[in-house]
Structure 1
Amino acid sequence: MVPARGAVVAVVLSMAVLAGCSGSTDEHPAAPTTVEVAPNQVAGVALPEDAVDKAVGRLDELIGSLMDSSHIPGMAVAVVHGGKTVYAKGFGVREAGAPDKVDADTVFQLASVSKSLAATVVADQVGAGTVDWSTPVTTHLPAFALADPAVTAQLTVGDLFAHRSGLPDHAGDRLEDLGYDRAAILEKLRLEPLDPFRITYQYTNFGLTAGAESVAVAAGKEWARLSQDSVYGPLGMTSTSSRFDDFRARPNHAVGHVNVDGTWSARYERDPDPQSPAGGASSSVNDMARWLTMLLGEGTPVAPPEALLPALSPQVVSTPPQNLDARAGNYGYGFNVSVSPAGRTTVSHSGAFALGAATNFLVIPSADVAIVALTNAAPLGIPETLTAEFADLVQFGEIREDWRGLYRAAFADMDAPEGDLAGQQAPSNPAPAQPLTAYAGTYDSAYWGPATIATTDTGLQLTLGPAQRAYPLRHWDGDTFAFEPSGENAPPGSVSSVRFADGAVTIDYFDESGLGTFTR
C-alpha cells in the first residue's frame, strides 16, 4: 500500500477512527479525538529514533562488506525518504577488468523488477480509462487463448499480473531461449496445461507479458513507447527504457557477469525484449528513486491512487504459511506485498538474470522509506540481503536475522543444474546404440516446433527453434543420449536425456509440462 498522505490521504481519512466521550460528566462532552491512522495501519513495533537516518548511515559499511564477500563487479543503491533521494551511490565497476566505475546514473538491466514498473504503466492506463484491471484480455487480444476456453473468456489483465491464470511456473521461458519472439510465445501458451484458475499462484513472465500486451494494444502503442509516455517521461526517468537496444546504447551501462570457476566474467548478453513488460526494463538508481518517490505519494503522480492501490495490495497468496504462526506472502499486480516482523506492510520485488543481473527494491510505506539495489552479477541474493538488513535497521535499530546466510542458502537452489541426468555418471557398460542414421530425421512438436537430429563427424546433433540452437548429443545407454542445454534457464552443469522410442523422441529438459515429446 502507499502511505497515508499525498494522493492517498482521502483513503486514510475515510478509515480514521473517532474516539467517543466515554465517562464524561461535563455539561458539554469532550470533543472527539481523531486517531491518525486506522487500527489496521498501526504497526506492532514503533520505529527507533532517527530510524531512517541511522540506517542510511550504515549503508556504506553494509555494501562494502557484501561487495568484499561476494566479489561481484558492480552495485548501485539509492534510498528515498521524505519526498527526496537521501542516498544514491555506485560501487565497483561496470565491467570486470575495465576501469569504468559504477555511479548512481549507471544503467542496469532490471530483470523482473520490470514487472512493478509495468504495473505502474497499467495503472496509468486504468486511470486514463483505457482499460481496467478487470478488463478481459481477449477484449484487446481476441486471438489470445489458454487451454480452457472458460478460463480464456474470464481471464483479466489483473489475473495475468497476479500470476493466477493457472499457467505453469515460468511458462514460455524456454521458448524464448530457443529464439521464439513474443507473438509466437504468446500463441503457444494455449498448449500449456493449466492449474486451477485464480486460486493457484504460478510465476510467469509471459503470462504477465500477455496482460501488458493487451493494454498496449488498447492504448494503440507498442509496449516500450507506452511505458515511456506513461511513466518514464512524466517522472523524468531519462535513462530508463523497456527496449534492449536503448540499454545497450547507453554509454554508462553495466555489463552482466556470471561466475566462472570463482571469477566474475562478462560472457553473455541477455536480450529480454520478448518479455519486455516482465523483464526487459533497464534503469539507474537515480531514475528508480524518482519512481519510488512517486510510490510513496510524493513527486509527480502518474496514476490515480485508486488505480495504483490494487497493484500494491494483496491479490493472491503467493507463499502459504508452513505452520500456524507463520506469515503468508502475497502478490498484488506486479508487486510482492507482505507484512514485516514489525507489523508493517512492505512492497517489494526482485529481479534476476542467470546470465548476469540481480536487483531488488523494498518499500516500507509507514516509515516513508524505500531502497533499491541493482547489480551486474548473476543472482546470489546480494540485493535482497542489503534491503533486508536495511529494513531491519529502520524498523528495529539493529539487524535481527542472518539475512546473508538465509539468502545464500535460498539462492543456491537457483544455480542447481537442470535435467534428469545432471550430476549422474554415465553407465560404465551401456547398451549399444543403433546405427546413428536410425535416429536422424526431423521430429515435430506443436509447442517447441521441429527438432532436427542429424549425423555429424562426431556423432549426433540436435537443432531446435528459430535461432537454430545446435546441441551435440553423446551416447548414454541404448536409445538414450544426453545433451547439455544452455541459455538463461539452464544453469551450468545441466544435462538432459534424449530418449528415442517408437518413432518419437522425448527430451526431458523440455518436458516440464508434459510437452517434451517430438514425433517423427
Structure 2
Amino acid sequence: MRLSRLLVSAGAVTALTVPGALYGTDRVVGPQQSTASPAPAPPSQQPPQLTQAQVSDALGQLDGVVQNAMTQTGVPGVAVGVVYQDKTVYAKGFGVREVGKPDRVDPGTVFQLASMSKPLASTVVAQAVGRKVVGWDDPIIAHDPGFALKDPYVTAHVTIADMFSHRSGLPDHPGDLLEDLGYNGDYIISHLRMEPLSAFRATYAYTNYGLTEAGNAVADAAKTTWPDLAATSLFQPLGMTHSSYRRSDYDRAADKATAHVQVDGHWQPSTTENADSQAPAGGASSTVDDLDTWMRLQLGNGSSDGKQIVDPAALDQTRIPHNIASPPRGPGGEPGFYGLGWNVNYDQLGRLRLNHSGAFDLGAATTVTLLPTEQLGIVVLTNGQPIGVPEAIAAAFFDIAQNGHQTVDWLGFYRGLFQQLAGAGHSPIDYAKPPASPQPAKANSAYTGSYKNDYYGPVTFTVTGSGNGSGNGSGNGELAMVLGPDKETFPLTHYTGDTFSYRTRGENAVGLSGVTFHTGAGGANGANGAVDAVTVENLDTTGLGTFTR
C-alpha cells in the first residue's frame, strides 16, 4: 500500500522519541536465565545502556502491552519475538489465526511480512556481496543489461545500493498500480523506463519495484531466482524452515495467519494480492521463530551459532545512512535516514536503531526494531490491516526497558498517526459531496470506445445494462470502464460535466476517484469536437494517466 512515508515516519519517530481472553502457545525465557556470554560488540559500538534487569522488567510487562493493544483494537492475531544477547528470550502468540475459527496464533504461525521483506532482502544481498557474486555499487545493467530508466545516464549508473536506498530518482511507488491492475512483474519493471525521474541520488522516493529490480539483478548474477537465492543463502543456513519469498508457500502453510480488514468496525477475513511480482520488496512470509533466528544473525554481525553466514563488512553497509528519508520534526530535530533495506536512525542516547515496518492494507501489519549496542531486538507480526498495533507494541517495549514504564501512550499515538495519514492519495471526489447542481454529461455514446496508453495499456468504455442511465450520460444503460490485462470492469457514476467517479480496488485502493473525458486534447477525433482523451485520476499520480482514442 502507499504507506511509505508513514512507515518511514513510524520508525524514525520511535527512534527519536524514546530516550533511551488472549492467550497462545508460547516460549518465554528470561534473560537472567541465560548462561551464554553476550556476543562481543565491535570496538566502534558504545557500551550497553540497559541492564539485564531492565530488559527482564520489559519482558515481564510485554504480555500486558500486547493484550491491551488487542483489547483496544480487536486485531485478531499477534505474534511477538524478542532476542537479547544472542538468545531468544520471548516467542509468543496471541489471539486467533482467523476470526470465527478456533486455531490460535503461536510462534510458528506463518505471517505475510509485506515491506518487512526489505531488510530480509538486504541481508540476502549482503550475503551475495560477501561471496563476491555482486558488489553494492554494481550498476544494475551489469547483471540485467535490458533494464532501463527514462534517463540514459541514470540507466547506465544506477546501482544495487541506489535501489535499496530509494535514491534512483524514480517517483514514489512506481508500478504498484500496474500490479493492482493485474500486470506481471516483467511488464511492470519494463515500464519503469516511462516513469519521470527526479534528481538522481539527491532525492528519496520509496519504490517496491526499483528495489525488486535490484534483488532480481543479484539473483541473475547468481544464476538463480530471487526466492531460490534467499532460500539457499539465508533461510536454509539459518534453519528458517517456514520462511519463503513465494506466495504459494504461504498459501500451503497449515499454520498461517489469515489477513483481516475492518468493515464497519468489525474485523473480517480478507485476501491480500499475490506479491510474487515484487518478492524482494514485499513478498516474504515467515514466523516469529524464524525471524528470531534472523535477528540473532543481524545482532551477531552476520554470525549464527558460531558460523559466519554473512560477511560483516557487507552487512554493515546496510546499516549506515544512504539517504535522507524524512526531514527533521522540529527545531534541533534529526532527519530520518534510510540505509539499504532499513530505516536507520539514532535515539536520544545516540544509539543506532534499525527498523522497518510492513503493511498490506488488505490485511497485514508487521514491524522489526533492532538496538545493536544493546544486542536487543523485537519483531511484531499481526494479521490485521495497518492501524499502528505492531509499531506501538515495539515502541512500548523499548520505552519500558529504558524507563520502567511507558512514557507515551504509544498505541494512542500510532493509531492517531495512521488515521491521520490513511487518507493520503484520496481524491476530493471520495470525501466531498457531489455538486448540488451538476453540469449535464454528454450522451453515453460520446464516451464509449477504446483509448490507448503506453504505460497502462488500453482502456475501453462500454455501456452495460439498461434503464435510465443511473446518473450517467443520456441514453439507456450504465457507463463502465474496462482496464488491465484481465479486463476488469469498473462501473462509473456521473459526478459533473464530463467527470465521472469509480471505486478503486486492490492493495492501493483509495475509495472513489475521478474519470474525466476531454475534447480537443489532440486525439484522433478532437478536430470535430468529439471526446478524444480521458484522464483516470488515480492512475495519474506521475502524469501517466491520460488515455487517447
User: Normalized against structure 1, the TM-score is what?
Assistant: 0.91
Q: Give 1:49 deviation, angstroms.
A: 5.9
The correspondence for 2:112, drawn from 91, 109, 117, is 109
The correspondence for 1:501, drawn from 500, 506, 519, is 519
Aligned to 1:50, the other structure's residue is in SS state: helix
Are 2:362 and 1:355 equivalent residues in the alignment? yes
Q: Determine the structure 2 residue equivalent to 1:412.
A: 419
The correspondence for 2:546, drawn from 509, 512, 517, is 517
Are 2:258 and 1:255 equivalent residues in the alignment? yes
The correspondence for 1:455, drawn from 443, 463, 483, is 463
Q: Determine the structure 2 residue equivalent to 1:373.
A: 380
Cα separation, 2, equivalents of 1:101 and 1:439: 53
**Is the contact between residue 121 and residue 280 of structure 2 (CA under 8 Å) also seen in structure 1?**
yes
Q: Give 1:48 deviation, angstroms.
A: 5.1
**Is the contact between residue 38 and residue 85 of structure 2 (CA under 8 Å) also seen in structure 1?**
no
Match for 1:383: what amino acid?
Answer: P
Aligned to 1:54, the other structure's residue is in SS state: helix
Aligned to 1:330, the other structure's residue is in SS state: strand
**Is the contact between residue 7 and residue 305 of structure 1 (CA under 8 Å) also seen in structure 2?**
no
Aligned to 1:374, the other structure's residue is in SS state: strand
Aligned pairs (5 A) from 1:215-234: 215-234=218-237
Aligned to 2:512, the other structure's residue is in SS state: coil
Aligned pairs (5 A) from 1:378-457: 378-416=385-423, 418-457=426-465
Cα separation, 2, equivalents of 1:494 and 1:473: 10
Q: Give 1:392 deviation, angstroms.
A: 1.1
* Alignment RMSD: 1.6
Structure 1 residues 376-432: Cα deviation after superposition (integer angstroms, max 9, x where no partner): 000001000010111112223332223222211211144327224111222222222
Moved more, 128-137 or 431-440: 431-440
Aligned to 1:495, the other structure's residue is in SS state: strand
Q: Determine the structure 2 residue equivalent to 1:265.
A: 268
Q: Give 1:76 deviation, angstroms.
A: 0.3
Moved more, 261-270 or 397-406: 397-406
The correspondence for 2:491, drawn from 459, 472, 484, is 472
Aligned pairs (5 A) from 1:296-375: 296-297=299-300, 298-299=303-304, 300-375=307-382
Aligned to 1:352, the other structure's residue is in SS state: strand
**Is the contact between residue 420 and residue 497 of structure 1 (CA under 8 Å) also seen in structure 2?**
no
Cα separation, 2, equivalents of 1:180 and 1:158: 26
Structure 1 residues 183-222: Cα deviation after superposition (integer angstroms, max 9, x where no partner): 1110111111111111111111011001111101111111
Are 2:504 and 1:485 equivalent residues in the alignment? yes
Match for 2:440: what amino acid?
Answer: P
Q: Give 1:224 deviation, angstroms.
A: 0.6
Structure 1 residues 336-386: Cα deviation after superposition (integer angstroms, max 9, x where no partner): 111112321111100000000000011011111100000000000100001
User: Normalized against structure 2, the TM-score is what?
Assistant: 0.86
The correspondence for 2:246, drawn from 243, 262, 281, is 243
Cα separation, 2, equivalents of 1:316 and 1:7: 29
Structure 1 residues 111-170: Cα deviation after superposition (integer angstroms, max 9, x where no partner): 000001110110011011110100000111111111111111110000000000011111
Q: Determine the structure 2 residue equivalent to 1:70.
A: 73
**Is the contact between residue 482 and residue 497 of structure 1 (CA under 8 Å) also seen in structure 2?**
yes
**Is the contact between residue 242 and residue 280 of structure 1 (CA under 8 Å) also seen in structure 2?**
yes
Q: Give 1:42 deviation, angstroms.
A: 5.8
Cα separation, 2, equivalents of 1:286 and 1:136: 36
Moved more, 335-344 or 54-63: 335-344
> Identity over aligned residues, as a percent?
45
Q: Give 1:268 deviation, angstroms.
A: 2.4
Cα separation, 2, equivalents of 1:351 and 1:373: 10
The correspondence for 1:281, drawn from 281, 284, 296, is 284
Q: Determine the structure 1 residue equivalent to 2:215.
A: 212
Task: Give ranges in structure 1 of 5+ residues lacking alignment.
Answer: 16-36
Q: Work out the number of aligned pairs and report it.
A: 486
Cα separation, 2, equivalents of 1:329 and 1:301: 31
Cα separation, 1, equivalents of 2:380 and 2:412: 18
